[in-house]
Amino acid sequence: MFGVRPLQQYLIAFPNGKLQALGIAWDARPRRAGGQRWFHLYPDAEITHTDPLHWTGRSQNWNYACAACHTTNLQRNYDLATDSYATTWSEIDVSCAACHGPGSKHVAWADARKAGSRAIDDATEGLLARFRGAGSGEWEIADPSKGSARWTWPPRSRVELDTCAQCHARRRLITTRHESGQPFLDGHVPALLDDRLYDHFKVVRNFLHDYDASSPSGCVEKTTNEFYQINEAVPVPKIDRVESELISQGPLTELQQANYDVLSRRLDAILASHPVCRGDGNNDRVVNWRDLLNWAVFAAPDQGESSWYDIDLDGRTDWTDFQIILDNLGTRCER
Protein backbone atom coordinates (compact mmCIF):
# COMPACT_ATOMS: atom_id res chain seq x y z
CA MET A 1 0.00 0.00 0.00
CA PHE A 2 1.22 3.52 -0.80
CA GLY A 3 -0.27 6.59 0.85
CA VAL A 4 -2.28 7.09 4.03
CA ARG A 5 -4.85 9.82 3.46
CA PRO A 6 -6.91 10.94 1.74
CA LEU A 7 -6.19 8.21 -0.84
CA GLN A 8 -4.42 4.86 -0.68
CA GLN A 9 -3.08 3.25 -3.82
CA TYR A 10 -1.94 -0.36 -3.87
CA LEU A 11 1.34 -1.59 -5.33
CA ILE A 12 1.75 -5.07 -6.79
CA ALA A 13 5.19 -6.69 -6.50
CA PHE A 14 6.46 -7.99 -9.85
CA PRO A 15 9.65 -9.95 -10.59
CA ASN A 16 12.96 -8.06 -10.76
CA GLY A 17 12.04 -5.67 -7.95
CA LYS A 18 9.35 -3.84 -9.91
CA LEU A 19 6.34 -2.38 -8.10
CA GLN A 20 3.28 -1.63 -10.25
CA ALA A 21 0.51 0.78 -9.19
CA LEU A 22 -2.92 -0.86 -9.38
CA GLY A 23 -5.69 0.99 -11.24
CA ILE A 24 -8.04 1.11 -8.24
CA ALA A 25 -7.60 3.06 -5.00
CA TRP A 26 -9.20 3.40 -1.56
CA ASP A 27 -10.69 6.71 -0.45
CA ALA A 28 -9.62 6.90 3.21
CA ARG A 29 -11.64 9.98 4.12
CA PRO A 30 -14.55 9.64 6.59
CA ARG A 31 -17.80 8.35 5.15
CA ARG A 32 -19.50 11.72 5.78
CA ALA A 33 -16.92 13.34 3.49
CA GLY A 34 -17.62 10.84 0.71
CA GLY A 35 -14.85 8.40 1.62
CA GLN A 36 -14.57 4.77 2.79
CA ARG A 37 -15.01 3.46 -0.75
CA TRP A 38 -13.06 1.89 -3.61
CA PHE A 39 -12.87 3.77 -6.89
CA HIS A 40 -11.30 3.26 -10.30
CA LEU A 41 -8.73 5.76 -11.55
CA TYR A 42 -10.13 5.53 -15.08
CA PRO A 43 -13.85 4.95 -14.47
CA ASP A 44 -15.02 5.77 -17.98
CA ALA A 45 -12.22 4.17 -19.96
CA GLU A 46 -11.43 0.63 -21.02
CA ILE A 47 -7.70 0.26 -20.35
CA THR A 48 -6.43 -2.86 -22.11
CA HIS A 49 -3.00 -4.45 -21.63
CA THR A 50 -1.73 -2.64 -24.75
CA ASP A 51 -2.61 0.81 -23.38
CA PRO A 52 0.30 2.90 -21.91
CA LEU A 53 -1.92 3.57 -18.88
CA HIS A 54 -2.46 -0.12 -18.06
CA TRP A 55 -1.28 -0.89 -14.55
CA THR A 56 1.31 -3.41 -15.76
CA GLY A 57 3.06 -0.93 -18.08
CA ARG A 58 6.11 1.27 -17.56
CA SER A 59 3.99 4.40 -17.06
CA GLN A 60 2.54 2.78 -13.92
CA ASN A 61 5.87 1.46 -12.62
CA TRP A 62 6.32 2.92 -9.13
CA ASN A 63 10.13 2.69 -9.11
CA TYR A 64 10.45 4.65 -12.33
CA ALA A 65 7.47 7.01 -12.47
CA CYS A 66 6.25 7.69 -8.92
CA ALA A 67 8.70 6.96 -6.14
CA ALA A 68 11.14 9.86 -6.49
CA CYS A 69 8.53 12.47 -5.55
CA HIS A 70 6.73 10.38 -2.91
CA THR A 71 9.66 9.20 -0.79
CA THR A 72 12.79 10.57 0.87
CA ASN A 73 16.30 9.74 -0.38
CA LEU A 74 15.18 7.39 -3.14
CA GLN A 75 17.80 5.30 -4.90
CA ARG A 76 16.25 3.53 -7.91
CA ASN A 77 19.25 1.21 -8.41
CA TYR A 78 18.12 0.13 -11.86
CA ASP A 79 20.22 -2.47 -13.66
CA LEU A 80 19.93 -2.23 -17.43
CA ALA A 81 21.47 -5.64 -18.12
CA THR A 82 18.79 -7.49 -16.15
CA ASP A 83 16.00 -4.88 -16.44
CA SER A 84 15.62 -4.98 -12.66
CA TYR A 85 15.39 -2.66 -9.67
CA ALA A 86 16.89 -2.84 -6.19
CA THR A 87 15.19 0.36 -5.06
CA THR A 88 15.85 1.76 -1.59
CA TRP A 89 14.62 4.78 0.36
CA SER A 90 15.04 6.33 3.78
CA GLU A 91 11.38 7.14 4.43
CA ILE A 92 8.23 6.10 2.57
CA ASP A 93 6.88 9.64 2.53
CA VAL A 94 7.99 13.19 1.79
CA SER A 95 9.78 14.10 5.00
CA CYS A 96 11.49 17.40 5.87
CA ALA A 97 14.78 16.03 4.53
CA ALA A 98 13.28 15.45 1.07
CA CYS A 99 13.32 19.21 0.44
CA HIS A 100 15.69 20.67 3.05
CA GLY A 101 18.45 18.07 2.91
CA PRO A 102 19.78 15.69 5.60
CA GLY A 103 18.32 16.42 9.02
CA SER A 104 21.62 15.53 10.70
CA LYS A 105 23.09 18.87 9.62
CA HIS A 106 20.18 20.77 11.14
CA VAL A 107 20.46 18.75 14.39
CA ALA A 108 24.18 19.55 14.57
CA TRP A 109 23.39 23.24 14.15
CA ALA A 110 20.71 23.09 16.86
CA ASP A 111 23.09 21.30 19.26
CA ALA A 112 25.76 23.92 18.63
CA ARG A 113 23.30 26.69 19.40
CA LYS A 114 22.30 24.98 22.65
CA ALA A 115 25.96 24.86 23.63
CA GLY A 116 26.21 28.61 23.08
CA SER A 117 28.14 28.40 19.82
CA ARG A 118 27.25 30.51 16.81
CA ALA A 119 27.76 28.07 13.97
CA ILE A 120 29.32 29.30 10.73
CA ASP A 121 26.23 28.35 8.76
CA ASP A 122 23.89 30.09 11.22
CA ALA A 123 21.96 31.83 8.44
CA THR A 124 20.95 28.50 6.89
CA GLU A 125 20.28 26.75 10.23
CA GLY A 126 22.21 23.78 8.89
CA LEU A 127 19.77 23.25 6.02
CA LEU A 128 20.95 22.72 2.45
CA ALA A 129 17.76 24.42 1.24
CA ARG A 130 16.26 27.01 3.59
CA PHE A 131 13.05 28.77 2.61
CA ARG A 132 11.54 31.97 3.90
CA GLY A 133 9.37 31.81 6.98
CA ALA A 134 5.65 31.17 6.59
CA GLY A 135 4.88 34.78 7.48
CA SER A 136 6.76 36.26 4.53
CA GLY A 137 3.89 35.91 2.06
CA GLU A 138 0.77 33.96 1.25
CA TRP A 139 -1.70 33.14 -1.47
CA GLU A 140 -4.80 35.33 -1.47
CA ILE A 141 -7.98 35.52 -3.53
CA ALA A 142 -7.75 38.99 -5.02
CA ASP A 143 -11.17 38.88 -6.66
CA PRO A 144 -13.70 36.44 -5.12
CA SER A 145 -15.91 36.71 -8.21
CA LYS A 146 -13.12 35.17 -10.32
CA GLY A 147 -11.42 32.98 -7.73
CA SER A 148 -7.90 33.38 -9.11
CA ALA A 149 -5.12 33.29 -6.51
CA ARG A 150 -2.23 35.75 -6.26
CA TRP A 151 1.01 35.48 -4.31
CA THR A 152 1.58 38.47 -2.04
CA TRP A 153 4.92 40.26 -1.84
CA PRO A 154 7.82 39.39 -1.69
CA PRO A 155 8.57 37.24 -4.78
CA ARG A 156 9.44 33.58 -4.28
CA SER A 157 13.12 32.88 -3.80
CA ARG A 158 15.33 31.01 -6.25
CA VAL A 159 15.89 28.31 -3.62
CA GLU A 160 12.16 27.55 -3.52
CA LEU A 161 11.91 27.36 -7.32
CA ASP A 162 14.98 25.12 -7.63
CA THR A 163 13.67 22.81 -4.92
CA CYS A 164 10.00 22.59 -5.86
CA ALA A 165 10.61 22.25 -9.61
CA GLN A 166 12.29 18.89 -9.04
CA CYS A 167 8.83 17.34 -8.65
CA HIS A 168 6.47 20.05 -9.90
CA ALA A 169 7.93 20.49 -13.40
CA ARG A 170 7.94 18.16 -16.37
CA ARG A 171 11.58 17.18 -16.59
CA ARG A 172 14.06 14.33 -16.83
CA LEU A 173 17.03 13.56 -14.61
CA ILE A 174 20.59 13.87 -15.88
CA THR A 175 22.29 12.79 -12.65
CA THR A 176 21.52 10.68 -9.58
CA ARG A 177 23.73 12.86 -7.37
CA HIS A 178 21.60 15.99 -7.29
CA GLU A 179 21.22 17.33 -3.73
CA SER A 180 18.87 19.75 -2.00
CA GLY A 181 19.92 23.36 -2.43
CA GLN A 182 21.61 22.81 -5.79
CA PRO A 183 20.27 24.64 -8.88
CA PHE A 184 17.48 22.74 -10.61
CA LEU A 185 19.24 22.84 -14.00
CA ASP A 186 22.34 21.17 -12.55
CA GLY A 187 20.44 17.91 -12.23
CA HIS A 188 17.44 18.14 -14.57
CA VAL A 189 16.47 19.02 -18.11
CA PRO A 190 13.02 20.69 -18.25
CA ALA A 191 10.65 19.62 -21.01
CA LEU A 192 10.18 22.24 -23.71
CA LEU A 193 7.09 22.92 -25.79
CA ASP A 194 8.16 20.94 -28.84
CA ASP A 195 6.37 18.59 -31.22
CA ARG A 196 8.09 15.48 -29.89
CA LEU A 197 6.40 15.82 -26.51
CA TYR A 198 3.26 17.83 -27.05
CA ASP A 199 0.77 16.96 -29.77
CA HIS A 200 -0.92 20.38 -29.70
CA PHE A 201 -4.28 19.04 -28.61
CA LYS A 202 -6.38 20.17 -25.69
CA VAL A 203 -9.47 18.74 -23.97
CA VAL A 204 -11.72 21.01 -21.90
CA ARG A 205 -14.35 19.47 -19.62
CA ASN A 206 -17.33 21.58 -18.57
CA PHE A 207 -19.47 20.81 -15.54
CA LEU A 208 -22.83 22.59 -15.69
CA HIS A 209 -25.84 22.65 -13.38
CA ASP A 210 -29.14 23.22 -15.17
CA TYR A 211 -32.59 23.70 -13.73
CA ASP A 212 -34.82 20.64 -14.09
CA ALA A 213 -38.28 20.63 -12.53
CA SER A 214 -38.42 16.82 -12.61
CA SER A 215 -35.32 16.48 -10.43
CA PRO A 216 -35.82 16.29 -6.63
CA SER A 217 -33.25 19.03 -6.14
CA GLY A 218 -34.46 21.04 -9.12
CA CYS A 219 -30.96 20.81 -10.55
CA VAL A 220 -29.15 18.32 -12.80
CA GLU A 221 -25.46 18.12 -13.59
CA LYS A 222 -24.39 18.04 -17.21
CA THR A 223 -20.89 17.26 -18.44
CA THR A 224 -19.59 18.25 -21.86
CA ASN A 225 -16.18 18.01 -23.50
CA GLU A 226 -14.52 20.41 -25.91
CA PHE A 227 -11.56 19.42 -28.07
CA TYR A 228 -9.08 21.74 -29.79
CA GLN A 229 -5.95 21.49 -31.89
CA ILE A 230 -3.65 24.27 -30.72
CA ASN A 231 -0.21 25.55 -31.68
CA GLU A 232 1.26 28.78 -30.31
CA ALA A 233 4.65 28.29 -32.01
CA VAL A 234 3.51 29.53 -35.41
CA PRO A 235 3.25 33.06 -36.85
CA VAL A 236 -0.55 33.01 -36.41
CA PRO A 237 -1.20 31.01 -33.21
CA LYS A 238 -3.96 28.39 -33.23
CA ILE A 239 -5.75 28.64 -29.90
CA ASP A 240 -8.95 27.33 -28.36
CA ARG A 241 -11.54 29.55 -29.99
CA VAL A 242 -15.20 28.59 -30.35
CA GLU A 243 -14.98 28.30 -34.11
CA SER A 244 -12.05 25.86 -33.91
CA GLU A 245 -13.71 23.31 -31.58
CA LEU A 246 -13.27 19.94 -33.32
CA ILE A 247 -16.10 17.79 -31.93
CA SER A 248 -18.75 20.15 -33.27
CA GLN A 249 -17.20 20.03 -36.74
CA GLY A 250 -18.00 16.39 -37.38
CA PRO A 251 -16.14 13.07 -37.14
CA LEU A 252 -12.57 13.30 -35.84
CA THR A 253 -9.65 12.12 -37.91
CA GLU A 254 -7.72 9.04 -36.75
CA LEU A 255 -4.96 11.25 -35.28
CA GLN A 256 -7.47 13.53 -33.57
CA GLN A 257 -9.43 10.61 -32.11
CA ALA A 258 -6.27 8.97 -30.76
CA ASN A 259 -5.21 12.17 -29.01
CA TYR A 260 -8.71 12.81 -27.73
CA ASP A 261 -8.90 9.33 -26.19
CA VAL A 262 -5.51 9.63 -24.46
CA LEU A 263 -6.18 13.13 -23.10
CA SER A 264 -9.66 12.15 -21.91
CA ARG A 265 -8.27 9.20 -19.95
CA ARG A 266 -5.61 11.39 -18.36
CA LEU A 267 -8.24 13.95 -17.42
CA ASP A 268 -10.37 11.17 -15.88
CA ALA A 269 -7.39 10.11 -13.76
CA ILE A 270 -6.71 13.66 -12.57
CA LEU A 271 -10.32 14.24 -11.60
CA ALA A 272 -10.54 10.86 -9.85
CA SER A 273 -7.54 11.78 -7.68
CA HIS A 274 -9.16 15.07 -6.67
CA PRO A 275 -11.83 14.21 -4.06
CA VAL A 276 -14.84 16.45 -3.51
CA CYS A 277 -14.15 18.88 -0.65
CA ARG A 278 -17.58 19.82 0.68
CA GLY A 279 -17.69 23.41 1.93
CA ASP A 280 -14.55 24.44 0.04
CA GLY A 281 -15.90 27.14 -2.25
CA ASN A 282 -12.57 28.63 -3.34
CA ASN A 283 -11.06 25.24 -4.25
CA ASP A 284 -7.93 25.62 -2.12
CA ARG A 285 -8.53 22.09 -0.72
CA VAL A 286 -9.20 23.26 2.84
CA VAL A 287 -12.40 24.45 4.53
CA ASN A 288 -11.39 27.41 6.68
CA TRP A 289 -12.16 31.00 7.66
CA ARG A 290 -11.59 32.19 4.08
CA ASP A 291 -14.61 30.16 2.98
CA LEU A 292 -16.71 31.83 5.69
CA LEU A 293 -15.61 35.29 4.56
CA ASN A 294 -16.16 34.51 0.90
CA TRP A 295 -19.60 33.07 1.68
CA ALA A 296 -20.52 36.40 3.32
CA VAL A 297 -19.60 38.23 0.10
CA PHE A 298 -21.75 36.01 -2.10
CA ALA A 299 -24.61 35.87 0.41
CA ALA A 300 -24.85 39.66 0.72
CA PRO A 301 -28.38 41.11 0.30
CA ASP A 302 -27.56 42.50 -3.16
CA GLN A 303 -26.36 39.04 -4.28
CA GLY A 304 -27.44 35.76 -2.69
CA GLU A 305 -28.01 33.93 -5.97
CA SER A 306 -26.25 30.77 -7.07
CA SER A 307 -22.46 31.04 -6.68
CA TRP A 308 -19.39 29.01 -5.80
CA TYR A 309 -20.73 29.02 -2.26
CA ASP A 310 -24.13 27.63 -3.18
CA ILE A 311 -22.89 24.37 -1.67
CA ASP A 312 -26.22 22.51 -1.75
CA LEU A 313 -26.97 23.67 -5.32
CA ASP A 314 -30.44 25.01 -4.55
CA GLY A 315 -29.90 28.21 -6.53
CA ARG A 316 -29.32 30.36 -3.44
CA THR A 317 -26.23 31.28 -1.43
CA ASP A 318 -27.82 31.26 2.01
CA TRP A 319 -27.54 30.13 5.64
CA THR A 320 -27.88 26.48 4.67
CA ASP A 321 -24.61 26.77 2.77
CA PHE A 322 -23.06 28.60 5.72
CA GLN A 323 -23.98 25.67 7.98
CA ILE A 324 -22.39 23.18 5.58
CA ILE A 325 -19.14 25.17 5.72
CA LEU A 326 -19.31 25.22 9.53
CA ASP A 327 -19.94 21.46 9.66
CA ASN A 328 -16.80 20.84 7.59
CA LEU A 329 -14.64 23.62 9.05
CA GLY A 330 -11.05 22.46 9.44
CA THR A 331 -11.34 19.71 6.83
CA ARG A 332 -8.23 19.34 4.65
CA CYS A 333 -8.74 17.58 1.34
CA GLU A 334 -5.24 16.62 0.23
CA ARG A 335 -4.75 15.83 -3.41
Confidence of residue 118 (pLDDT cuts 50, 70, 90): low
- Per domain, the residue ranges of the chain are 7-94, 98-190, 201-258, 276-335
Q: Residue 181: its pLDDT value, please?
A: 84
Distance CA 310, CA 299 (A): 9
Q: Residue 11: its pLDDT value, please?
A: 93
Higher pLDDT residue, 44 or 103?
103
> Do residues 246 and 201 lie in contact, with contact meaning Cβ atoms separated by under 8 Å?
no
276-335 has CATH 1.10.1330.10 classification: yes
Confidence of residue 221 (pLDDT cuts 50, 70, 90): confident
> Do residues 35 and 6 lie in contact, with contact meaning Cβ atoms separated by under 8 Å?
yes
Question: At residue 193, does pLDDT exceed 70?
Answer: no
Distance CA 267, CA 246 (A): 18
Chain length of the chain:
335
Give the tens place of pLDDT for each residue, 167-188: 988 888 888 778 888 899 999 9
Give the tens place of pLDDT for each residue, 40-51: 888 877 888 888
Q: Can you tell me the mean pLDDT for 84-88?
A: 95
Confidence of residue 78 (pLDDT cuts 50, 70, 90): very high
Confidence of residue 138 (pLDDT cuts 50, 70, 90): confident
Higher pLDDT residue, 246 or 198?
246
